[in-house]
Structure 1
Amino acid sequence: MATELLELKFRLYDGTDIGPNKYALTATVASLKESILSQWPKDKEHNPKTVNDLKLINAGKILENNKTLAESRVPVGEIPGTVVTMHVVVRPPAPEKGLDKPPSKKVKKSKCSCTIL
């Protein structure tokens, strides 16, 4: 029995694409993210470091890492033999520890000089 393949391309935040490439329906979302990381253009401003830095969105649904492509796909609107576009969102880099300013504990006093008679 032949493995069914789905042709996917991944649309990045700036409108550029990775792919299209064919993936087995048994591939996990995490493995798709690993593939995206390995093909990520080096000239981008925000470069993800791990699969947890990426979110894949298909038909408005955020895909879970532990689900397979077959479990995650939304066949409504898919036309057999066409390329399915998934959107890739990059989590912004976390600020480095020690660079954050602690919240100010000063209480600002109102300088209102209203008088109620």
Structure 2
Amino acid sequence: MSVVQEQLEIRFRLPDGSDIGPKQYTAATTVSTLKECILAEWPKELENSPKTINDLKLINAGKILENNKTLAECKSAICDLPSVITMHVVVKPPSLERATEKSDSKKADGGICGCVIL
């Protein structure tokens, strides 16, 4: 006897308001697999494109989803209502990494502050 996997239809809302999907995923699909699908289909014309799945955050029903969780584990009662679930995609800005590197180099150079007080 075969077990029927629950299918969820998911749309990913990108930061610019455009969408990827909707597409069907099984409840056993992990969040990291969803992020890999998003990376593969990311529009080339968008400026702030992620490099790895760690640059992405998926938000559903106000909660940030963890990479190692499955859709079944992340599913909330709110998700039972719509036929298509919309998950919001947040991209970690690359400037944060550069700012951290700059502040580390300033500390190594003697901690000179680059602040301007007006």
- TM-score tier, shorter chain, comes to 0.7 to 0.9
**What count of residue pairs does the alignment treat as equivalent?**
105
Percent identity among equivalent residues? 54
Q: TM-score, normalised by structure 1?
A: 0.80
Find the counterpart in structure 2 of residue 92 from structure 1.
Answer: 93
Q: Which has the higher helix share?
A: 2
Q: TM-score, normalised by structure 2?
A: 0.80
Displacement after TM superposition at 1:98 (Å): 6.8
Is the partner of 1:76 in helix, strand or coil? helix
C-alpha deviations, 1:81-104, integer Å up to 9, x for none? Answer: x10000000001121887666141
Which stretches of structure 1, 4 residues or longer, exceed 3 Å deviation after superposition? 96-101
Q: Distance in 2 between matches of 1:71 and 1:98?
A: 36
Q: Distance in 2 between matches of 1:28 and 1:69?
A: 6
Structure 1 alignment gaps of length 5 or more = 107-117
Single out whichever of 48-57 and 91-100 deviates more from structure 2: 91-100
CA 1:14 to 1:105, structure 2 compared with 1: closer, same or farther past 3 Å? closer
Displacement after TM superposition at 1:41 (Å): 0.3
How big is the alpha-carbon RMSD for the aligned residues of Structure 1 and Structure 2? Answer: 2.2
Find the counterpart in structure 2 of residue 53 from structure 1.
Answer: 55
Q: Distance in 1 between matches of 2:113 and 2:67?
A: 41
Displacement after TM superposition at 1:78 (Å): 3.0
CA 1:69 to 1:105, structure 2 compared with 1: closer, same or farther past 3 Å? closer
Structure 2 alignment gaps of length 5 or more = none
